[in-house]
Structure 1
Amino acid sequence: MKFAVIVFPGSNCDIDMFHAIKDELGEDVSYVWHDETSLEGFDAILLPGGFSYGDYLRSGAIARFSPIMKAVEEAAAAGKPILGVCNGFQVLLEAGLLPGAMRRNSKLTFICKQTELEVKQGDTMFTQSYEEGESITIPVAHGDGNYYCDEETLKNLQANNQIVFTYKEDINGSIANIAGITNKKGNVLGMMPHPERAVDELLGSADGLKLFQSIVKHWREQHAITS
């Protein structure tokens, strides 16, 4: 399976993401610069954290207009797994690939710490290696991680089982303690916590590795069916 790590000006978690896939997961991975226009040959797309374009205007607001985003949108429409972490989540929101928006953390401070999450959905292509209801430890590092959506959107997220991860405590003011959501199709996941920083016990937790293993497991199952 081949992964693409999209690199925007200001990305700073791209190396962490590359390491997680190459050295911990053992899969093929390449960096793709933001001004490329094709993602042909890639099976999964990863948008890492950082401060794309310096977070000017709003976090992710400029990156969503990068040339590569048209290819990301096409990959999403084709059903390929798309994972946006932290700033990557913000880019997916700005691009309209996920509903809602990000606001400043409720206490207006940058948060960087290990965080306990609950796996709300265990049957997605990103979570099938977890148990539903499982508590996992994944670090966060963000200043604009306060997820917001209107009441109707929240009801739709809940009704369609799109809320995949929630914080076990209110760390940033996110509505319904949401830490990660998918699109209706279930192939685009955005999350503020950093699973790529939780792939080895030396980092304080290896709970994030299961997310990447889930992607590979799902892809292999689908590939076996269609081949």
Structure 2
Amino acid sequence: MAMLRALGTTIDVDLNGSPIDEGEFTALWDRCLVEPAAMEASDVVETVHAEGNSSLVILTQHITHALIAARRGELLMLHAGAVAHQTTGRALAFVAPGGTGKSTLTRLLAREYGYLTDETVGLDPATLEIFPYPKPITWAAVKGEPKIEHAPDSFGLQAAPPRPWLGDLVVLRRTPDREPSFTELGVLDAIERLVPESSSVTSLPRPLHVLADVHRRAGCTLIEYGEADDILDWCRARLETP
């Protein structure tokens, strides 16, 4: 049994009866692991049971679903990667569907800035505080090959700073060989693009007002690009903004 703390909540993961190696699991999830002695039994909201044929990638999906369910109606949760400035806590969140390059961009930037997540950004709508989910990076080194799990330490990713907060919201759209463009989205365009990449947003009180308020305070930029390297400098400039 392993105890994980992420998105501001705690779950147990039961590996009994599964083919998953406990040592490998522990190495991959090191940044989310907590000692049972440090938590009260009442702090654990759910137990995820690894099925007999579970792979690490499938188990990660089950863990993510359990965490999202636990914060349903409390946090604004977006399908996004995020990194944060180590000193100021200012965070940049990249909202995008799978295969758009958010994990690659997050991985590259997190060698310089704190790694928050490559999967789900959990945001307190009132304060814009982000609750980190520093899960393993799910990534395929060769395009077309199956994705596998990689420990954040294996990529040299930096630790999350205390109390990161959303400074900028970005929607990614990737097209091979495209020159990068940066478009500030109005509130209606931003909501139209954010809602399909959100989890349980309708469970929040007045969800459209929540999204509009986040847009008012953090803005939303549409980045259309070909390669992650082409937009790293823009991202660095936003993260370094006082």
The normalised TM-score by structure 2 is: 0.26
Larger radius of gyration: 2
The normalised TM-score by structure 1 is: 0.27
